[in-house]
């Protein structure tokens, strides 16, 4: 794909190619035909990062071609959701001749939600003063009648906020309103609508299960909060302190009472459960941990975590890398069968694909 461009007429063909590749990778594991969850072909991404280029009085967003490393001017960005794409020229218009907001502005990061909030991080190669905060506050007030936008200013070892450093995503899933705090700089699912499909697919499976759930790599509670009503108890683990704080905030925000989060790496969880039945003073002896949900990084599951999840009756595996998923299935297929397979196109016009697998112990 050309930098910043989309080609909707090619979308279904490219998606078909990605689905075919996943099916071929998993063919040796007797995987069923995949359920396919497509993305919108335009305006699908809720996060975007740009360099800001200065040329005299002109100022514009720019990206770099991943192969040639050449700078590409971005005046229209149909990859981003409407909230971001429509706001990009508005931002430039308001800061172009505002010295305090423009001077040595190096980068702009956007974070949006399906519910219409927008967080804009302005990143500088200079120290920021109260004058910057005053101008950013005035800009927020000037835009308030048309845009639900918040501004953050960043420079080396410095962060200034007009109000908050997060947005709150809100959407409905199975007649339930879900809310998630999404903090600037932390991981969030980039394709909001496809994320809803992922949660819906996983919850449909969870509705068929019973007992308690262990989730590894829980992030801000994206899956565990959505799936909590399906289980008696949920224990979720995550290594990132920022994500743990957001998960705890989101548990309270959604009034979930059967979910506990623990700050531990998947490797440490595996080691702890091998040695006993506690996780950081959390007693698991009275729990029926029949189901595990994993959403690992691109490297997949390490050997210890592989061994841990193989002990569970049901495994819901969300993968951002089908190659490492296939590697993990080499081990897991010796004890489990694939019951359901799904493909979620989080990243249109790229080779990346999210895959969901439900495995059941034989």
Angle formed by the axes of helices 8-25 and 322-332, nearest 10°: 20
Reduce the DSSP state of residue 202 to 3 states and report it.
helix
Tell me if residue 218 is catalytic. Answer: no
**Model pLDDT, residue 3:** 77
The 3-class secondary structure across 314-356, one letter per residue, is EEEEEECCHHHHHHHHHHHCCCEEEEEEEEECCCCCCCCCEEE
Report the b/e string of 63-101 with b at 16+ CB within 10 A: beeeeeeeeeebeebbbbbebbbebbeebbebbeeeebb
Of the candidates 117, 153, 118, 149, which has an alpha carbon nearest to the alpha carbon of residue 135? 153
R_g (Cα) of the chain, nearest Å = 22
Report the b/e string of 179-198 with b at 16+ CB within 10 A: ebbbbbebbbbbbbbbbbbb
Tell me if residue 320 is catalytic. Answer: yes
Reduce the DSSP state of residue 181 to 3 states and report it.
strand
**Model pLDDT, residue 80:** 97
What stretch of H or E contains 262?
A: strand 259-263
HSE toward the beta carbon, residue 39, CA cutoff 13 A: 32
Distance CA 126, CA 22 (A): 46
Indicate which residue of 117, 169, 184, 354 is catalytic: 354
**Model pLDDT, residue 276:** 62
**Model pLDDT, residue 281:** 65
- Residue numbers of the chain with a pLDDT score lower than 50: none
**Model pLDDT, residue 323:** 96
**Model pLDDT, residue 144:** 94
* Tokens 């509670």 sit on residue: 221
pLDDT tens-place string over residues 145-160: 999 999 999 999 999 9
pTM above 0.85, yes or no: yes
Distance CA 152, CA 122 (A): 6
């Amino acid at each position: 794909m050309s930098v910043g461009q989309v080609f909707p007429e090619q979308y279904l063909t490219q998606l078909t190619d990605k689905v075919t590749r996943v099916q071929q990778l998993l063919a040796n594991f007797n995987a069923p035909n995949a359920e396919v969850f497509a993305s919108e072909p335009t305006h699908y991404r809720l996060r975007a990062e740009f360099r800001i280029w200065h040329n005299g009085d002109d100022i514009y967003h720019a990206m770099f071609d991943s192969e040639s490393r050449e700078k590409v001017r971005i005046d229209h960005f149909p990859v981003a959701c409407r909230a971001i794409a429509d706001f990009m020229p508005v931002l430039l218009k308001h800061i172009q001749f505002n010295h305090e907001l423009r001077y040595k502005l190096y980068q702009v990061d956007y974070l949006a939600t399906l519910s219409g909030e927008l967080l804009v991080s302005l990143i500088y190669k200079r120290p920021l003063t109260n004058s910057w905060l005053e101008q950013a506050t005035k800009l927020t007030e000037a835009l308030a009648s048309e845009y639900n936008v918040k501004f953050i200013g960043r420079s080396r070892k410095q962060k200034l906020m007009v109000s908050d450093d997060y947005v709150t995503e809100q959407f409905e899933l199975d007649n339930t309103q879900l809310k998630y705090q999404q903090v600037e700089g932390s991981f969030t699912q980039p394709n909001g609508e496809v994320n809803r499909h992922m949660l819906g697919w996983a919850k449909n499976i969870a509705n068929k299960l019973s007992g308690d759930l262990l989730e590894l790599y829980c992030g801000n509670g994206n899956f565990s909060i959505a799936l909590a009503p399906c289980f008696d108890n949920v224990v979720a683990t995550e290594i990132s302190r920022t994500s743990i704080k957001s998960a705890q905030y989101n548990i309270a925000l959604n009034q979930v009472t059967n979910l506990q989060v623990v700050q531990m790496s998947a490797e440490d969880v595996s080691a702890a459960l091998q040695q006993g039945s506690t996780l950081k003073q959390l007693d698991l002896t009275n729990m029926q941990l029949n189901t595990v949900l994993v959403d690992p990084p691109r490297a997949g599951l390490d050997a210890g975590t592989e061994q841990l999840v193989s002990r569970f009756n049901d495994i819901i595996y969300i993968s951002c890398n089908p190659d490492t998923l296939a590697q993990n299935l080499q081990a897991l297929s010796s004890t489990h069968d694939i019951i359901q397979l799904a493909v979620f196109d989080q990243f249109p016009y790229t080779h990346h694909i999210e895959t969901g697998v439900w495995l059941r112990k034989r």
